[in-house]
């Protein structure tokens, strides 16, 4: 089930108001006692927010923010879908695998653009 517009609105409150959300998906930190997080992939950043212990549907605070110049995946789908991001293992539901792939494809497309051979013109 896609992330609701209400959750997206709450996530946007933690982000730079000039930024634009491209992708949002929930994940679980593998082996954590407080596993629920949201990944918010924006035009500028990848922001991870914890959901807290009582509700896994409401973002509570920002855990980390990084520039939007790295891939999230690849996602290993041989068992429960999972990926390693910044040294931490995350599990996601099957339905969010295409979201991670789309976010990665977007950054790979931007990275594949050739440099301007004549930037001063």
Residue 108 has what pLDDT? 81
DSSP per-residue codes, 14-71: TS-TT--EEEEEEEEETT-SS-EEEEEEESSEEEEEE-TTT-SSS--EEEEEEES-S-
Which pLDDT score is estimated for 9? 94
* Domain-wise residue ranges, the chain: 5-104
CB 22 within 8 A of CB 41: yes
Task: Please tell me the predicted confidence (pLDDT) of residue 116.
Answer: 64
**Residue 56: its pLDDT value, please?**
80
Would you state the pLDDT for residue 111? 56
What is the reported pLDDT for 45?
96
The CATH number of 5-104 is 2.30.29
Contact 37, 48 (CB under 8 A): yes
Q: Which helix (H) or strand (E) holds 84?
A: strand 82-85
Walking along the chain (121 residues) 10 residues at a time, the average pLDDT comes out as 88 95 95 90 96 84 94 95 96 96 85 62 55
């Amino acid at each position: 089930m896609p992330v609701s517009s209400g959750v997206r609105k709450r996530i946007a409150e933690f982000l730079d108001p000039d930024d634009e959300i491209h992708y949002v998906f929930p994940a679980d930190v593998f082996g954590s006692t407080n596993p629920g997080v949201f990944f918010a992939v924006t035009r500028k950043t990848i922001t991870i927010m914890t959901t807290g212990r009582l509700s896994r549907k409401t973002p509570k605070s920002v855990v980390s923010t990084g520039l939007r110049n790295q891939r999230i995946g690849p996602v290993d789908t041989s068992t429960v879908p999972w990926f390693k991001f910044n040294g931490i293992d995350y599990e996601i539901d099957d339905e969010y695998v295409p979201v991670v792939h789309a976010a990665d494809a977007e950054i790979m497309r931007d990275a594949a653009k050739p440099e301007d051979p004549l930037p001063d013109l």
